[in-house]
Amino acid sequence: MPKDTLTITDNRTGKTYEVPIENGCIRTHALRQIKTGDDDFGLMGYDPAFLNTANCKSAITFIDGDKGILEYRGYPIEQLAEKSSFLEVAYLLLNGELPQQKDLDQFTHLVTHHTLVHENIKSFMDGFRYDAHPMSMLASTVAALSAFYPDAKHTRDERSRRIQITRLIAKMPTIAAFSYRHTMGLPYIYPDNDLSYVANFLTMIKRIGTTTYKVHPVLEKALDVLFILHADHEQNCSTTSVRTVGSSEVDPYSAVSAGVGALYGPLHGGANEAVLRMLREIGHISKIPDFIKQVKGGEGEKKLMGFGHRVYKSYDPRAKVIKRVADEVFEVTGKNPLLEIALELERIALEDEYFVKRKLYPNVDFYSGLIYEAMGFQAEMFPVLFAIPRTVGWCAQWEEMVKDSEQKIARPRQVYTGSGRRDYIAMDKRPSPQK
Ligand code: ACO
């Protein structure tokens, strides 16, 4: 009868240890018993960037990166994108099950009626320079919400948690739209409770000089689908940041603002902005072979942005849905001229041995920027458009972490590589630095 254990022999001492295997993992803490002597701290795992370390158990999102599968609470992303709505998916991610109609109505009502922000938030945002990046404004303003809602510190109180989660999901589009209006020098537009989540956001962004602005239903649906695709993606960089910061039991606004910060980076949510800049830099399909040559020849300093993923080693299932959404959007807005370059770039890269060997496929960001641009957003807004729906995932993951009795304040170990102990040297006795 095979046993669910791992037998380890320490060749330094000749001792053998048996470590249980649960869910395809060993607890790295079990390695601590492996010592060379009493004063040995014990064996640790060394895993920079968590390439092979599970940081939590989670029942929210499942990914099989080799097969290109993404499921929220067991439901395939393709089905949710086709049949569900963003707020229904938000309910699912937060509560574990699809809602009954009355539950969805109540959730939608709650989110809709928490979209307003305190008037002082407007003055706060006015303090930013005219050229502030909207993602910086978003991160700071979300952090500032903790000053407006001091009750948020009661993270062990389920009712309080749910109020903050509702506020976060509801106010994110308002703050995002305000940050956009600020950069454009336009007056802020207040939320309208008669509109859907997405239509309300687009109206706060787009309405200028009229009260009759109406969102095109195809664009409303397209953004709703994009929001579904971006709602959660298990333990990515920003979610891990939210969990890590949240593990100190700080309020969720502070934790989510850390997630916004992580998402801002060009290797994460900033990638779609980087894709557009890259497509513009390429400029014409005739320049693609040269560009690919530079990517392959460099020491990693030039990347094919929107390609590759830590988890997906096949086509990102979200990218497939996005390609379909792109066609629908371009029917309304006209084709983005950069699309031709993107399609050709994808075609060449998917046939090129460099990308094939490394299993580099288009990720969610490769086409999303083209859609956002066609909808009239400048590139700086792309990561913001990612942060709005991802707030749902951050909140679901944060609450799961708070409720998980196995979790503690996050505190990794290190392998110290610095100097050994030495005595302080007076300024006039210090040797001059080696050139
Ligand atoms: N273009 C060219 N080469 C690449 C790319 C790329 N986009 N991505 C990875 N590689 C190469 C690496 O140089 C490395 O090559 P090597 O084995 O010769 O050294 C190999 O592929 C493996 O890549 P890693 O960097 O080890 O993969 P990692 O899992 O650390 O990185 C990441 C994943 C950050 C997403 C990376 O693929 C990347 O930078 N992509 C471009 C940015 C991007 O699109 N980010 C969005 C990710 S999706 C999201 O956050 C929503």
| CA dist., res. 4 & res. 384, Å (int) | 45
| CA dist., res. 204 & res. 67, Å (int) | 39
Ligand 1 pocket test, pick from 309, 321, 345, 394 with the greatest ligand atom count within 8 Å of Cβ, gives: 309
User: pTM for this one?
Assistant: 0.93
Task: Please classify residue 387 by burial: count the beta carbons closer than 10 Å to its beta carbon, then call 0-12 exposed, 13-18 middle and 19+ buried.
Answer: buried
| CA dist., res. 367 & res. 376, Å (int) | 15
Mean of the pLDDT values across residues 65-82? 96
Q: Are 144 and 175 in contact (CB under 8 A)?
A: no
Among the CATH numbers 1.10.10.60, 1.10.1740.10, 1.10.580.10, 1.10.3720.10, which is that of 72-406? 1.10.580.10
Of all protein residues, whose CA lies closest to atom 39 belonging to ligand 1?
267
Quick one: which atom of ligand 1 is closest to the CA of 310?
Answer: 29
The angle formed by the CA atoms of residues 221, 225 and 231, to the nearest 5 degrees, is 140
C-beta of 295 in contact with ligand 1 (< 6 A) = yes
Q: Which amino acid is at 407?
A: Q
C-beta of 385 in contact with ligand 1 (< 6 A) = no
Give residue 265's pLDDT: 92
pLDDT tens for each residue of 328-337:
999 999 988 8
Give residue 300's pLDDT: 65
Query: Taking the domains of the chain in order of start, what are their residue ranges?
Result: 72-406
Of all protein residues, whose CA lies closest to atom 43 belonging to ligand 1?
306
Quick one: which atom of ligand 1 is closest to the CA of 309?
Answer: 35
Residue carrying structure tokens 């009750």: 151
The proportion of the chain whose per-residue pLDDT surpasses 90, expressed as a percent, equals 89
Flag whether pLDDT at 1 surpasses 80: no
Of all protein residues, whose CA lies closest to atom 9 belonging to ligand 1?
308
C-beta of 302 in contact with ligand 1 (< 6 A) = no
**Residue 290 Cα to ligand 1 middle (Å):** 19
pLDDT tens for each residue of 230-264:
999 999 999 999 999 999 999 999 999 999 999 99
Flag whether pLDDT at 297 surpasses 90: no
Residue 325 is inside which H or E element, if any? Answer: helix 317-333
The angle formed by the CA atoms of residues 281, 68 and 407, to the nearest 5 degrees, is 100
Mean of the pLDDT values across residues 298-316? 86
Mean of the pLDDT values across residues 299-324? 88
Mean of the pLDDT values across residues 11-18? 98
Ligand 1 pocket test, pick from 66, 233, 267 with the greatest ligand atom count within 8 Å of Cβ, gives: 267
Q: What amino acid positions are annotated as catalytic residues? A: 309, 365
Flag whether pLDDT at 101 surpasses 70: yes
